[in-house]
Amino acid sequence: MPEVLGHLSCRTMTAVERSALTARYLDEVRRHGLRADDLLGDLPGLKPYYYGGRFLSRPLFIGDSECRQLYADVANVQTAVSSLPSRLFGGDFAAFARAVGAYGAVAAVLTGQDKVPTQLARADLFAAETGFQMLELNQGSSLGGTDNVDMCRALLRHPVLAEFARAHELGYVDTVRNQVDTMFAETGLDPGSCPVVALATWPNGYDRTMKPYMEAVAGAWRELGVDAYACQLGDLSRRRGRVWLEARPVDAIFRMFPTGLLHESSRTPAMVAPVLDAAARGEVRLCAPLESDIFSSKAALAMISDDVNRHQFTAAELESIDRIVPWTRLVRPGPVTVPDGSTADLLDYAVSQQNELVLKPSMGREGIGVVLGWEHSPDRWLALITSVSSPWYVIQKRVRPEQELFPDRDGDLIPWIPVWGLFTGSPGYGGIYVRAATDTGAGTINQALGAFVGSCLSAGA
C-alpha cells in the first residue's frame, strides 16, 4: 500500500465537523420527539442470530476532511506495519513472526510465501480529545462488521435521518463491495467471470452459531456478482487438481477465520496444509493468506511506536504514527522512551503510571486477556506486569474516549463510548463499523461482551 499524505492538520476543525453534525441531528431528533424505537425501525430484525437486536439508535457522523485525514493516517500506519519484515528483519518473515508473538499451531503452518498481507483491514479507534487514537489494527479477511452497510440502509429508511443526510450530503461506503473488489484485485480473478468462491470459516461451532451468519454473507456476495458459498474449512476437498466444495470446483477461497483459532484443534495441520498446498500449486486462489493476520499483532504497533525505530519510516508515516498510535511498548525490562520524551525503565514506569496504562496480549482477540491498570490493586498490577514477557504482551497508554449521545426508548440522550472501526481495502476507504458500551470506564468494547453495534455516515461519501 503506498503511503498516503495527510489532508488536514488542524484537529480542531475535524472535531467541529463531527460534533457539529451530531449536535444538529440530535436537535432534529428532539424537535420531532423521536425515541430509539422510532429511529431503529426494522433494524432489530437484522441477523437476530448474530446481533441479538443490540443496535445503536443512530449512526455516528464524520465530516469529509476528518474522514479523509483519518483514512490517510490509518493507511500510512498500515503501510508502516506491513513493511516491518523488510525494514526491521532484513526480509526474514519468520523472524518477524516470532518477534510479534506467533507461536504453536500458528507458527507451524506459516509458509512465508506471501509476505505481503492483504489490504483488507479494520483499524479500531477511540475518538479522544486530542483526536482519533488507534487501539489495534486488524489485518486479514476475518473482519466483523462488514454488514454495517445494512445498518446504514435500515436507519436511512426513517424520513428524519434521510432528510438530514440529504441536506448535509452524508452517505456511506459499501464495505461488502469494498471487500469483494479487494478479493478480485488480490486473486487476479476477472470481476465479470462470476467465480465460485468458498467463504470458509473454522469448523468449531459452525453449524451451531456461525452458519446462518455465513450464509447471509454469501447472499450479499452473490448480489455483487460472485457465486459465493458459505462453508467451514473441513467441507473443502482436493482432487483432480482442483479444490472442491461438494460438487463445485472452487476458484477462490476467502478465509473468514482468524489464525488464532488454529490452536483450537489437533486437526489444524490436516485441514490447513492441503489448502495452502493447493494455493501454492495454483489450483485455487487464496485471498488473505494466513501470514496477513500476523501483522495484526499489537507487538507490531509497539515496533512502529518505539522511538528506536523512527529512522525506518517516512515523514508522512511518522506524522500519522504520532497522530493516531498511542504510546505502545513490548513488555520487557530495560530503558524506554516514555510519553513525555524522557527515558525510564519500562517496569518502573509501568508501576508508577498504573492508572494510565493497559496490558494487552500481542496476538489476543476479542479483548481476551486485556488488563486495565486502573481496575487493579498495585500489588496485583505489579504481579501481572512482571509475570508476562516480550513478545507475548505489550503495554499501551490509556486512551480516554469521548462520549457520544444516543436517544433511548424514552427519548432521553444517553452517553455511550463508541469504538470506531475503519475498514480499508484495495479500493481505499471501506466504511466504518461501530461498537459501543455505556460503561464510561470500559477499556474493552466488543460484541462478544455485549456491546451494541452501529454504523457511520460520512460527508462526501
Residue found under cell 518477534: 99
CA neighbor of 137 nearest in space, from 110, 109, 117, 114: 117
Instruction: Provide the whole-model pTM.
Output: 0.92
**pLDDT value of residue 48:** 87
From first to last of its 461 residues, the chain has per-residue pLDDT tens of: 444 443 333 333 344 489 999 999 999 999 999 999 999 988 998 988 888 899 999 999 999 999 999 999 999 999 999 999 999 999 988 889 889 987 655 565 565 554 578 999 999 999 999 999 999 999 998 898 999 999 999 999 999 999 999 999 999 999 999 999 999 999 999 999 999 999 999 887 787 778 999 999 999 999 999 999 999 988 999 998 999 999 999 999 999 887 766 665 556 667 788 888 898 899 999 998 888 889 999 999 999 999 999 999 999 999 999 999 999 999 999 999 999 999 999 999 999 999 999 999 998 776 778 999 999 999 999 999 999 877 899 999 999 999 999 999 999 999 999 999 999 999 999 999 999 999 755 567 777 667 899 999 999 77
Distance CA 454, CA 461 (A): 17
**pLDDT value of residue 4:** 45
Task: Locate the domains of the chain by residue range.
Answer: 11-295+402-459, 330-397
**pLDDT value of residue 442:** 54
Burial group, residue 441, by CB count within 10 angstroms (0-12, 13-18, 19+): exposed
Return all residues near 235 (Cβ < 8 A) that are at least 6 apart: 198, 200, 245, 246
User: Measured in whole angstroms, how far is the alpha carbon of residue 413 from the centre of its chain?
Assistant: 28
Q: Which three cell numbers stand for residue 304?
A: 512502529
Distance CA 385, CA 292 (A): 28
